[in-house]
Amino acid sequence: MRYSQYFIPTVKEIPADAEVISHILMLRAGMIRKVAAGIYNYLPLGLRSIRKVEQIIREEMNRAGALELLMPVTTPAELWQESGRWEKYGKELLRFRDRKEAEFCMGPTHEETVTDIVRREVRSYRQLPLNLYQVQTKFRDEIRPRFGLMRGREFIMKDAYSFDVDGAAADISYEKMFNAYRRIFQRCGLNYRAVEADTGSIGGSSSHEFMVLADSGEDAIVSCSGCDYAANMEKAEAKQVVVTDGAEPLPLERVATPEKRSIQEVSAFLDAATSSVVKSLVFLADDKPVLALLRGDHELNEIKLKNVLGCETLELAPDAAVEKVTGAPVGFAGPVGLSIRIVADQTVAGMKNFIVGGNDRDLHLKNANLGRDFSVELFADIRNVVPGDACPRCNGGVMEIWRGIEVGHVFKLGTKYSESLKATYLDAAGKEQVIFMGCYGIGVGRSVAACIEQNHDADGIIFPIPIAPFHCIISALNPKDEAVMAAAEQIYNELTAAGVETLLDDRDERPGSKFKDADLIGIPLRIVVGNKNLVNGNVELKQRRGGAVELLPIADAMAKVRQTVAEALAQ
């Protein structure tokens, strides 16, 4: 490809609405352009990287025995009504009507559509296992689309769905996908970690997220310093260690805390550690109030609380509900004298003489004690893990916390969709059985963005060869010089013929601006053809990563480029 005939609208300025580096660089490198919030054009250069990721995904999915199909974005409401998600999915689901007033949605995921195919076509156990996947546009009306392709509203996803005769067979399908994902992200050149994730109401312990480690990541992930344990923050278990404070219970004391509402304000005002305060949070679980207690320096984990309560919906109670339940303004809730369900984090079980809200304006209580002053229905792990917590799996390991970007997700669905949509098969004995399913997603655009988060420097992107839009760029320093152009074209033709994807920068630009663009768009290898070296038959070969420069005879430079590319693609 000749640069002069290609379309790479690079820009110098940092776009105003771009916060993270991958978004900034993808805009600056002319890879993407915004159409509306969370909706982007993929320009030619950006599309090349996207297609590379898709190709790697296809190769690995096919290798694992999955079959590609393509389902429509447009999904009739009936299928979603059958699964029950039409009501549950909320505002992320973009719904619309056709001219006949029939209701549809833009698919945010395709469990319903794919299960509909399988329930119509699969009759016998002989047709299973089956794994169907697609690479396709999804729409989710995200509340806060941001970070470019990282959290879009319209985005490309690879979604796969496995169908098996029973749970054990479904485990095997899951394992295959898990391993395929490892290969995919490794081949994309990503530094990632597979972590345990919450399975929500679907049950089972089998969901993993593939997280790319990056400071800009929206997710917190937890891993053990001593063993393999890794989970996302929602799921990470806090080890059951109840340290009992041996202190004698002191008399309960009322203390005035005027306008002191937060844990920080109360502990500073009473000159006490935040860990000696018990935080009281009122929630509505399936619309009924529940009080959750946890140590003042800990954070509540809503997913854990929801799982412990076994409720369908859980939300922090709005101010009016808190006032109704506690008889006090927000900021003074406490367990003493309250007649609603009370659950507490297991850490609270060992605490003595702690501070709690007094359920009255400007009032807190000192020296509150479990059993004597109030009772708790249930102690459970309902807090977020903090760095230094003991590992729940090994002895001696401590928890470390990282930021990550979720690029992939594998999930054992069990019979959730096959039951509601009645996807069954006849077993060897002719008996009707429900199919076991799994679903497996990868964010394609998000993977490219995540890769840039991990691979860049002050000058721009540093693409790993497997997903670089081009492998090599030839910078012809003075394209008006016939000898230079002839040499550059010869190199270009030979590399292209050898399968090296090459961009020939034949633009009539200053060398400095050619180099700047080449660095910005992150092409891994650069051959510089200039008349000064060419008279000796040499060109410069520069590695984008690390910046190493070698002066080599033309044939050697080409051989090295071919070898470097071949080695990178063979991994």
List of residues contacting ligand ATP (CB under 6 A): 109, 140, 142, 151-152, 155, 157, 406-409, 441-443, 445-446
**Rounded to whole angstroms, how far apart are CA atoms 550 and 571?**
25
Nearer to ligand ATP, 446 or 542 (CB): 446
3-class SS of residue 190: coil
* Cβ-proximal residues to 435 (8 Å cutoff; 6+ apart), any chain: 118, 122, 128, 163, 164, 165, 415, 418, 423, 424, 425
In whole angstroms, what is the distance from residue 168 CA to residue 569 CA? 35
What minimum distance in Å lies between the beta carbon of 517 and ligand ATP? 27
458 C-beta neighbours (distance < 10 Å), count: 5
**Helix or strand (DSSP H, E) at 365:** strand 363-368
Question: In 89-166, where does DSSP find H-type helix?
Answer: 111-121
What's the closest the beta carbon of residue 71 comes to ligand ATP, in angstroms?
15
Nearest-approach distance from CB 114 to ligand ATP, in angstroms: 14
- Cα 287 to Cα 409: distance, rounded to the nearest angstrom: 31
CA dist 438 and 416 (Å) reads 10
Q: What is the DSSP string of 330-351?
A: TT---STT--SEEEEEGGGGG-
Is the CB of 314 or the CB of 410 nearer to ligand ATP? 410
Closest approach of Cβ 163 to ligand ATP, in Å?
19
CA–CA distance from 553 to each of 152, 357, 533, 558 (Å)? Answer: 46, 78, 9, 9
Minimum CB distance to ligand ATP smaller for 130 or for 407: 407
Residue 445: its H or E element: helix 444-454
- Closest to ligand ATP by CB, 182 or 341: 182
> Least distance (Å) from ligand ATP to the CB of residue 566?
30
**Closest residue by beta carbon to ligand ATP:** 443
CB of 10 vs ligand ATP, minimal distance in Å = 24
Shortest distance, position 522 Cβ to ligand ATP, whole Å? 21
Least Å distance, CB 442 to ligand ATP, is: 6
What's the min distance (Å) between Cβ of 182 and ligand ATP? 15
Query: Nearer to ligand ATP by C-beta: 157 or 266?
Result: 157
Q: Containing H/E element for 438?
A: strand 436-443
The least CB distance from residue 221 to ligand ATP, in Å, is 12
Of 177 and 407, the one with the shorter C-beta distance to ligand ATP is: 407
63-to-68, 131, 333, 439 alpha-carbon distances in Å: 12, 12, 57, 17
- The minimum distance between CB 455 and ligand ATP, in angstroms, equals 18
End-to-end CA distance of the chain: 26
Q: Which is nearer to ligand ATP, 157 or 500 (CB)?
A: 157
Q: Which residues pair with 533 in a beta bridge?
A: none
Nearer to ligand ATP, 109 or 538 (CB): 109
CA dist 320 and 293 (Å) reads: 20
- Which residue number, 358 or 408, has a Cβ lying nearer to ligand ATP? 408
Give least dist CB 130 to ligand ATP, A.
Answer: 20
User: Which residue, 140 or 471, has its beta carbon nearer to ligand ATP?
Assistant: 140
CB 322 within 8 Å of CB 282: yes
DSSP state of 388: T
Q: Between 303 and 558, whose beta carbon lies closer to ligand ATP?
A: 303
How far is 77 from 82, CA to CA, in rounded Å?
Answer: 9
Closer residue to ligand ATP in complex, CB, 303/491: 303
**Torsion-angle region of 375 (φ positive above 0: left; ψ -120 to 50: alpha; else: beta):** beta
C-alpha dihedral over 8, 12, 14, 18, to 10 degrees?
A: 10
Q: In whole angstroms, give the CA distance from residue 67 to residue 125.
A: 18
